[in-house]
Structure 1
Amino acid sequence: MGGTRIGRGFVGSFTSAGGRGVVAVEVEEGSGALTVTGASDDVADPSFLALDGDVLYAVSETDAGAVAAFDVTGPAPRPLGAPVPVDGAGPTHLAVVGGHVLTANYTSGSVSCLPRAADGTLRPVAGQLRHEGSGPVADRQGGPHAHQVLPDPSGRWVLAVDLGTDSVTIGVLDPVTGAPTPHGITALRPGTGPRHLAFHPAGTHAYVLNELEPTLTVCRWDAEAGVLTPLGETAVVPEGPAAPTGPAYPSEVVAAPDGRFLWAAVRGADTLAVLALEEDGAGARLVASVPCGGHWPRDLTLGPSGRHLYAANERSGDVTWFTVDAETGVPSRAGSLPLPAASCVVFG
């Protein structure tokens, strides 16, 4: 490799759709190229992953709902015991927050907190936050559907994005048990179906990507008060003659480390949106839309060098990587790795 730095990454995939489970990869940071080193299919449908040191956590996005821990010091992930139930159905996202792992349980509309032992293994659920409500889109918003949970940059708060109730719940964790308790709820425009959010690197703004309408809601974030305030929306697909001919379902949003750009993956349209951010982060503007390199980009991740984006194209079964133009923020396709039912990419 000519001395080029080699990093590591992991890809989650749906075993029920032919995926290999949790796949370990090496990443050649100069080119962005991925090479598979091993895989584990011990856990059903590990659709979303979170890495903490040499321990990888994966949701099992099943009706039973569970989280699994893996030792990733070798070429292939090694399970650290059996998956632990999350007391919720269909977990779609998880985050490591201090000594706990939090899961967003889509089908149940709840957030679960599982304590971590010193060796990284998980203990039973210590607490749960149940969302309430519904939205106007009958077939998708009949009840709460927590889709993402993550800590804010200050580490004081956790935010749970709910597609079913058009809202973001701000919570705090009990300092002893880790159990989540609600602090406040931010209502977003009815019917937008918020799915995921990303923070501006300065920690002053957050960007909520909506699934049921292809838009991004720009919000001010007050880390002292734990208050999220919507400022406005912008489209993540072109309008007019260049608009997609069919439905467009955004999936993931990524902020550039320098705060100049946002990127969003859009399923159906099968595009990556490039949005330029205002200098203070208080506004976003769509400046480009490029093909995602496959079909149904479920996840989008920035690589370890900061120069490449990785799209997990679930239905075409690949992870495609792009080189990002430092001046314009526009990604150009650089390569692809076939991985059936790919759903998530993490690096570290």
Structure 2
Amino acid sequence: MRPSLRLFGLLPVLLKSVSAINIFVSHYQGTVQSLTLTPTSGGAYTLTANSTITIGGQPSWITWDSPNRVLWIADEGNSGSITSITAGTDGSLKKLGQCSAPGGAVANTLYANGGYIASVHYGTSLLTTFKLPLSSSSRPLQQITLTMSAHGPNSRQDAPHPHETVVDPTGAFVLVPDLGADLIRIYTIDPSSGKLTSCGSSVQTPGTGPRHAAFYGNKTLFVANELANTVNRFSVEYTGGCITLTKEQSSNTMAGGKAAPSGTKVGEVHVHDDFIIVSNRRDLSFSPDDSMATFSLDPTTSAMTLTGVTSSGGTYPRTFQINKAGDLVVIGDQTTANVVVVKRDVATGLLGPQVASMRIGIVGHAEEDDGLSAVMWDD
């Protein structure tokens, strides 16, 4: 039987619907928003606003629980909170719950099969955990105060400043890069109680300022260092009930190996296949825009080689993410408050042309906790 013309007329709409991708965005003015990226003819894309909700505080980080379609939002405000938001496949957002938490949270992660959430609090030197699900009366399962023996060489190293929580590939450990103490703190996970127990720390060179980390398999860890403006490669060994990290390589993130300009702050590092990308904030390599550095990885030795530096499409790329397919990268430029989507070559790992950009909310100010804070693929 010949398909009807009506069906043929619906096919472009259906294909467009299937190909559209949602992007979640948080802004320091207290909002969480969804955008929809839709491919059009000739390899072009359109980026449109979808749903916005106001949750208050200073949303700083998004953790995406894809199977349950829940966003977990950290709050960097002085009166902190954790907020959960459900996301429909159409990009619609609905606040699910919110509870009070210590202030200054800059990152969180789910662990123990999604039964718990761990947050780090930069300004108050804390690591907290909560049992899920949350209610308005939820209180921390743990509130761990981090300490350090002496002031570091950098003026920002006056106290412990944990900046991320990273679960290792085995799901048995949580790692916390501490910018203030020049440590990568390591905790074991009790899967039955959800409690974290310190099993030691990896001591970094004074003044390094470890900020973010990403595993490459379960034998290599890459760490982005905000104060040294470098990315370090560590070999990973599971010994004595803990993790031992051994530094194997360090590289700066500027084209040609040049020194980072004054004011530059390396941001995040992400791994996809045999490549990593590192964000450079305030380097102005593509004035007035900042940059993204791509490294290729030797699949045998994990050695990294800088292969390209490209524009971030704005100023102060606080967060970014590679989609699962590896062919697109979304970048959240904090100060210019714009979401940028760029092509990525899956074979070379190199970032290509910008295909979409959108301003979100009000622009920020250099070195201030305002503007756009986080981006995340619905992937």
Q: 1:70 to 1:192 in 2, by over 3 A?
A: same
Aligned to 1:335: 356
Aligned to 1:93: 107
Aligned to 1:77: 93
Compute the displacement of 1:180 (Å): 1.5
Task: State how far apart, in whole Å, the 2-side matches of 1:42 and 1:116 are.
Answer: 19
Aligned to 2:212: 196
Task: State how far apart, in whole Å, the 2-side matches of 1:143 and 1:182 are.
Answer: 18
Give the RMSD, CA atoms, in angstroms. 2.2
Compute the displacement of 1:32 (Å): 6.2
Compute the displacement of 1:59 (Å): 0.7
Secondary structure in 1 matching 2:347: coil
Alpha carbons 1:128, 1:180 under 8 Å: kept: no
Aligned to 2:245: 228
Q: 1:106 to 1:281 in 2, by over 3 A?
A: farther
Q: Using the TM superposition, name which of 37-46 and 191-200 deviates more.
A: 37-46
**Cα distance per residue 1:142-195 (max 9 Å; x no partner):** 010010002111101111110001111110223333221101200111101010
Determine whether 1:207 maps to 2:227. Answer: no
- Where relative contact order (Cα < 8 A, 6+ residues apart) is larger, the structure is 1
Secondary structure in 2 matching 1:274: strand
Alpha carbons 2:166, 2:214 under 8 Å: kept: no
How many pairs were matched up? 337
Task: State how far apart, in whole Å, the 2-side matches of 1:127 and 1:190 are.
Answer: 29
Match of residue 32, structure 2, among 18, 22, 27: 22
Task: State how far apart, in whole Å, the 1-side matches of 2:193 and 2:45 are.
Answer: 41
Q: 1:62 to 1:137 in 2, by over 3 A?
A: farther
Alpha carbons 1:114, 1:122 under 8 Å: kept: no
Aligned to 1:309: 329
Q: Using the TM superposition, name which of 177-186 and 190-199 deviates more.
A: 177-186
Compute the displacement of 1:56 (Å): 1.0
Alpha carbons 1:46, 1:60 under 8 Å: kept: yes
TM-score normalised to structure 1 length: 0.90
Compute the displacement of 1:303 (Å): 2.0
Alpha carbons 2:281, 2:291 under 8 Å: kept: yes
Aligned to 1:42: 55
Task: State how far apart, in whole Å, the 2-side matches of 1:135 and 1:234 are.
Answer: 25
Determine whether 1:67 maps to 2:82. Answer: yes
Task: State how far apart, in whole Å, the 1-side matches of 2:32 and 2:251 are.
Answer: 35
Match of residue 186, structure 1, among 181, 202, 215: 202
Compute the displacement of 1:34 (Å): 3.5
Q: 1:252 to 1:345 in 2, by over 3 A?
A: same
Aligned to 2:122: 106
Q: Using the TM superposition, name which of 30-39 and 183-192 deviates more.
A: 30-39
Match of residue 153, structure 2, among 137, 146, 154: 137
Aligned to 2:298: 278
Q: Which has the larger radius of gyration?
A: 2
Q: 1:170 to 1:308 in 2, by over 3 A?
A: same
Q: 1:42 to 1:197 in 2, by over 3 A?
A: same
Question: Which residue type is aligned with residue 339 of structure 1?
Answer: I
Point out where structure 2 has 5 or more consecutive residues left out of the alignment.
1-11, 284-289, 362-370
Secondary structure in 2 matching 1:140: coil
Point out where structure 1 has 5 or more consecutive residues left out of the alignment.
none
What is the identity percentage for the equivalent residue pairs of Structure 1 and Structure 2?
23
Determine whether 1:166 maps to 2:182. Answer: yes
Aligned to 1:319: 339
TM-score normalised to structure 2 length: 0.83
**Cα distance per residue 1:50-92 (max 9 Å; x no partner):** 11122111011111222111122364322223x3223x33100
Compute the displacement of 1:137 (Å): 3.4
Q: 1:6 to 1:122 in 2, by over 3 A?
A: farther
Q: 1:245 to 1:176 in 2, by over 3 A?
A: closer
Task: State how far apart, in whole Å, the 2-side matches of 1:221 and 1:34 are.
Answer: 40
Match of residue 72, structure 2, among 53, 57, 62: 57
Task: State how far apart, in whole Å, the 1-side matches of 2:45 and 2:190 are.
Answer: 40
